[in-house]
Structure 1
Amino acid sequence: GVPQEIFKNIEAGLEIFERKQRFTNPDISLKSLADELNTNSTYLSKVINTTKDMNFSQYLHHIRIKRIVERLKNEEKLRQYAVEAIAQEAGYKTAQSFTRAFYKETGIYPSYFLKRLKTK
Structure 2
Amino acid sequence: MAFDAVPLGDAFGQLDGPVHLPSLTARERERVMAQLREWVTVLVRRFAIEPRVIPPCWEQHNGMVEALFALKDHERACYAETASPTAAVEWFHAFREIEARLMSLGGLTQCTVHEHRPSHTQAWA
What's the TM-score, normalizing by structure 1? 0.30
Tell me which of the two structures has the higher relative contact order, counting C-alpha pairs closer than 8 angstroms and 6 or more residues apart.
Answer: 2
What's the TM-score, normalizing by structure 2? 0.29
